[in-house]
Structure 1
Amino acid sequence: MTTSGAGRTSTSRIFHAVTAFVVLAGIVIQLLVTANGTEGFFPDNPDRVFNVFAYFTIQSNLLLGGTTLLLALTPDRDSLLFRTLRLNGLLCIAVTGIVYHIALAGLDELTGWAAVTNLLLHTVTPILGVLGWLVFGPRGRTDRRVVAWSIAFPLAWLVFTLIRGAAVGFWPYPFVDADDLGYAKVLLNCLLVALLFLALAFGAMLLDRRLNRTAVER
């Protein structure tokens, strides 16, 4: 490894570690805010705290934080499972940021620590996640097989959310509230999000190939 290569690896590890720390900070603050709050679907703990993990935002941040932590510890980590989780972390956090700022921002007036965790989980981590992938990769690890497997997680979350919502009456986001919108409208909304996810997935695959070729040519 050249000196410049070693320096880039060191910078990459620091960036990924910072990303993982920001994710951890955002989730911990969110759990504390929820545990000490009075609003929400579930009136008592631990149900209130456990319910935090039903949100796609939290799941996306967990995927991003977990994969960036692994990259900080072992930059050359590689397997089909890790490639899929890495792409999931990128795509899910990107969708989280896009959907939040297009459809959900401004629905709640947040102050104090609630505003801090909202900023971290919906804005800062999406920026860090996308920027980290663009700058540090790792490159050459996104193909059609990885893209296909990456669809499994958001589909599983959607199925879980619809089944749980029908059972307990809790819907994490207005656009999946079947009690209010009806299942036809909810499924249409989910289709639009799925199309966004697929567009981002194939866009990431094509961009990864281009960035990988550029890196090899240098």
Structure 2
Amino acid sequence: MALVGVIFALLLQGLRTLAGATAEANFLLHQLNPVLVVLFWLLFTRKGTLSWRDPLLWALYPLVYLAYALARGAAEGKYAYPFIDVSANGWVGAMSNAVVIALGFVAAAEALVLVDRVLARR
């Protein structure tokens, strides 16, 4: 969830002008919720329980979602995110973007495991 906030801040923020309830929902999902999840993890979860392979398991859901988003985009001609838009980026560009994001996801998740282990020692 924290990475949702990072991806939103780096790649998606400002792409669309939102107002009213849509803007509020966007704020809650992409800005407030990621901060609250990190705070919850820091304050309320037991540390030292994460393993180095956990990030690979965590990456399964985003990879399945990527396949779904690409299939739906191909069927509808409209992609959920500009960085996986095959019509704008081509398959090589869209897949390159997906690989970079996936590697960033796994690297950030491994950093989280490291932080978990460091905090467990305290």
TM-score normalised by the chain length of structure 2: 0.92
**Which runs of structure 1 show a deviation greater than 3 angstroms over 4 or more consecutive aligned residues?**
none
Of residues 65, 84, 88 in structure 2, which corresponds to 1:176?
84
User: Any unmatched runs of 5+ in structure 1?
Assistant: 1-92
Tell me if the contact between 1:100 and 1:122 (Cα under 8 Å) persists in the aligned partners: yes
TM-superposed deviation, 1:172 = 0.6
Aligned partner of 2:96: which letter? L
- Paired residue type of 1:171: Y
- Take 2:72 and 2:40, find their aligned partners in 1: how far apart are those partners? 34
Q: How many residues align?
A: 122
Aligned match of 1:143: 51
For residues 4-45 of structure 1, give each alpha carbon's deviation from its aligned partner in whole angstroms, at most 9, with x where no partner exists: xxxxxxxxxxxxxxxxxxxxxxxxxxxxxxxxxxxxxxxxxx
1:213 Cα deviation from its structure 2 partner: 1.2
Q: Does 1:210 align with 2:118?
A: yes
CA RMSD of aligned residues (A): 1.3
Letter in 2 for 1:189: N
**Which position in structure 2 is the counterpart of 1:102?**
10
Post-superposition CA distance 1:115-141 (Å, at most 9, x none): 111110110000001111122223222
Equivalent residue letter for 1:130: V
For residue 122 of structure 1, give the secondary structure of its aligned residue in structure 2. Answer: helix
Please, which of 75, 82, 88 is the counterpart of residue 167 of structure 1? Answer: 75
User: Which residue identity is paired with 2:77?
Assistant: G
Alignment of 1:77-156 (within 5 A): 93-156=1-64
SS in 1 for 2:53: helix
- The CA distance in 2 between the partners of 1:185 and 1:139, in whole Å, is 38
Alpha-carbon distance between aligned partners in 2 of 1:181 and 1:145, rounded to the nearest angstrom: 32
The 3-state SS of whatever aligns with 1:106 is coil
In 2, Cα distance between the equivalents of 1:131 and 1:189? 29
Q: Is the 8 A contact 1:175 1:186 kept in 2?
A: yes
Query: Identity across aligned pairs (percent)?
Result: 38
Q: Distance in 1 between matches of 2:60 and 2:83?
A: 20
CA–CA separation in structure 2 for the residues paired with 1:110 and 1:166: 26
User: 1: CA distance between counterparts of 2:69 and 2:19?
Assistant: 28
Bigger-Rg structure (1/2): 1
* Separation of aligned partners in 2, 1:192 and 1:147: 15
Q: Relative contact order, CA 8 A, sep 6+: which one is greater? A: 2
Q: Equivalences for 1:55-70 in 2 at 5 Å?
A: none
180, 197, 211: which is aligned to 2:105?
197
Moved more, 138-147 or 110-119: 138-147
- Measure, in 2, the Cα distance between the counterparts of 1:111 and 1:163: 29
| Maintained 8 Å contact 1:95/1:196 | no
Q: Distance in 2 between matches of 1:199 and 1:145?
A: 12
